[in-house]
Chain A
Amino acid sequence: MPIHTILMIEDDRFIGEMYVRSLKKAGYDVTWMVDGNDGLIAARNKTYDVILMDVMLPERRGNDILEALRGKEDLIPKSKVIVLTNFEQDDESRMAMEKHADGYLIKAEITPSKLIDIIAQLDKTE
């Protein structure tokens, strides 16, 4: 099934709006959550094709969300997770997140069009 629905958990308004705008223009159905708790609840309630997740989030950090979703058992087997962060994590935390994620990107290193390319690539590897 091709990727269509995207859940984005991102607290920065400018960055969030920018990605939502571009992803919608590219034809995706985007749900945007601003804090970590709401993000986790949304991810549990509905199956998304892709989850874009920040690390430094209010209420609940990205690594905790990922741990809750994929730590003990995989609650989201049908979703792809891309960690999108600008925070330079220490190596251990980063590796821990990479273990449970399908991608790990530094936001400052990519543009919205690059992000769309990457999602399209995930689609191909499906």
Chain B
Amino acid sequence: MKKSSGLAHDFWPRFRTGAILIVLGVELLILLLTAAVLLYFEIFENNLLLAIAILVGQAVLGILSTTIIMLYAVQPTKHLLAAIIHISGEPTNLTPPNPNDPRYANNGFKEVLQTLYELDSRRQNIDAPTSAGPAVVPTTDPLRLALDTTDCGFVVMDHTRHITYANRAAPVNIGEDGKGSLQLIFNGQDNLASWLDECDKTAVHSEKTWSRVPDRLPDAEGRRFFDVIVSYNKGATAETVIALVDRTKLYEIGEGELDFIAFAAHELRGPITVIRGYVDVLQGELEQYLQPDQKELFHRLTVSANRLSGYVNNILNTSRYDRRHLVLHLSEQTMLSIYNLISDDMALRASAQNRLLNVNIPTDLPTIAADPSSLSEVMGNLIDNAIKYSNEGGSIFVKAEPKGDMVEFSVTDQGIGMPSNVIGNLFQKFYRSHRSRETVAGTGIGLYVSKGIVESHGGTISVRSEEGRGSTFMVDIPTYASVAEKLKAGDNNTGLIDQGRGWIKNHSMYRS
């Protein structure tokens, strides 16, 4: 049997073209007939102008009626088709129609869409054998009682994302206006709101799970952790259903790990301090006696000790980021002043490994909102990578330039580059490309934590690479002017900007 390889969405262009052609054809036919009748019976023989006026009028009416016909007869077909395409799971960039659209409520199309979507969820239930229906249909009261007894949170939201139901265990805050809001702290961009935005645009049914989502900031009293399971059903009364499994007991142990890592870092940093310190002291005191090659050895010692200390910072930041402990203090800075924090170290690092470091960071760039020490760690990571993945004697270009509301910091190397399939995974934790595992030392947390830090600034990190030609990593950080208002408005309890120190409490990490 020959199976048709056509897709449902192929139908729409054909149908639309057909419909337009048929309607226009019929209009034209009527027009011609009218003209023929007028001519044949010589009705307006003496008044050709009137005859033409009638014909033109008819043509205009024809176009008008075509439009109306398209709207009332053809448009619903398109929406039906869009719904079917989405249910079928065909790839598409059509927006699935929303039954709660007011125009559908008026003309009754809402019911049609709802029926369609319900049919689909029924089909999915049959597909999934585990979700057998309850043996007894509970009445509301025992159900509510049960929901309020369990430690699992349940929250239901309608299509406007208003909370219509929340049980007792759910981390929901009731605001002054009586409206509830979900109290969850997601990490960066991967949050519920953005996922729902995505669903509104592209999905009919969807489900997603987040694990280890806290409801409060670190050290807050009664902080809980949840695994959050969200299901989305477009157009259902309960459009979004959120189940929150309280995993505090499990993840609390993990919270203790931060203490462990902080103590481990303390122990590691002790010897690093001494090594770095005495290398510096000895080099200074022995300067006049040292041969050039011995000086080079000192450079290598310094570079190695510095890298070690940078690496401890990466570990600490990764641990904090993963546990939502990473808090940045954004203040008005320049790219150059931040780069200057590490410029000596970078120059030494590049020269010790025989790379040419070209730095071009203009002094007159717009100021940025940044946390100096964190952002300088990002810069250090990128330059470190550029050194690692380029060849002896190669050039590394460090640049900064304005880019709209951002200032872009970029690091370009002329090294081995990457194939495109590697780039997608590059910013994942512990990711190392197959090749780099074999040839280059490292652990794969540098880019991961850099991305975390940059995104916590409200910025973006990206990469352009060509295999064999080299890579460019770009970090875009918002200008201070573009976010100053937001920073000032973001926190009411500390007054936000302590003028004396220029600390700004940043809450971009804690957007829920």
Contact = CB atoms under 8 A, between A and B. Distances in A.
A118 interface: no
B277 interface: yes
A14 B274 contact: yes
Interface stretch (A40-48, A75-83, A90-98): A90-98
B281 A108 contact: no
Interface stretch (A31-39, A63-71, A109-117): A109-117
A92 B503 CA distance: 13
A87 B327 contact: no
A95 B498 CA distance: 12
A74 to B, nearest CB: 15
B508 interface: no
B272 interface: yes
Interface string A14-33: 11001101100000000000
B363 interface: no
A56 B218 CA distance: 22
A94 B121 CA distance: 52
A112 B280 contact: yes
A98 B502 CA distance: 12
Nearest to A84: B273
Contacts of B266: 56, 86-88
Given A87-B263, A88-B262, 19 more contacts: A15-B273, A15-B277, A18-B273, A18-B281, A22-B281, A87-B265, A90-B219, A91-B218, A91-B325, A92-B219, A95-B503, A98-B503, A108-B269, A108-B270, A108-B272, A108-B312, A109-B309, A112-B281, A113-B280
B219 A88 contact: no
Contacts of A98: 501, 503
Interface in B214-233: 218-219
A61 interface: no
B1 to A, nearest CB: 67
B260 to A, nearest CB: 11
A12 interface: yes
Interface of B: 218-219, 261-263, 265-266, 269-270, 272-274, 276-281, 284, 309, 312, 316, 325, 327, 501, 503
Contacts of A109: 309
A87 B284 CA distance: 28
Nearest to A14: B274
A120 interface: no
Contact of B269 (A22, A86, A89): A86
Contacts of A107: 269-270, 273
Nearest to A98: B501
A109 B273 CA distance: 7
B218 A15 contact: no
A109 B373 CA distance: 11
Contacts of B316: 88
7 contacts: A18-B281, A86-B265, A88-B265, A95-B503, A107-B270, A107-B273, A111-B281
A22 B309 CA distance: 21
A72 to B, nearest CB: 20
A56 B272 CA distance: 17
Main secondary structure of the interface of B (DSSP, over half): helix
Given A86-B265, A88-B266, A108 B284 contact: no
Contact of A87 (B262, B280, B325): B262
A112 B278 CA distance: 8
Main secondary structure of the interface of A (DSSP, over half): helix
A107 B327 CA distance: 21
Contact of B270 (A15, A22, A88): A15
A88 to B, nearest CB: 4
Nearest to B319: A88
A90 B272 CA distance: 21
Contacts of B273: 15, 18, 86, 107-108
B157 to A, nearest CB: 32
Nearest to B261: A88
Given A18-B281, A112-B281, A90 B269 contact: no
A90 to B, nearest CB: 7
Contacts of B325: 90-91
B276 A108 contact: yes
Contacts of A108: 269-270, 272-273, 276, 309, 312
B371 to A, nearest CB: 12
A111 to B, nearest CB: 4
A113 B278 contact: no
A91 to B, nearest CB: 5
A87 B327 CA distance: 17
A125 B173 CA distance: 48
A109 B218 CA distance: 26
Nearest to B264: A88
A73 to B, nearest CB: 19
Contacts of A19: 277
A23 to B, nearest CB: 11
B269 A111 contact: no
Nearest to B266: A87
Contacts of A92: 219
Contacts of A86: 265-266, 269-270, 273
A18 B280 CA distance: 11
A113 to B, nearest CB: 6
B365 to A, nearest CB: 25
A14 B277 CA distance: 10
A111 B277 contact: yes
B238 to A, nearest CB: 39
Contacts of A87: 262-263, 265-266
Contacts of B276: 108, 111
Nearest to B327: A91
Nearest to A87: B266
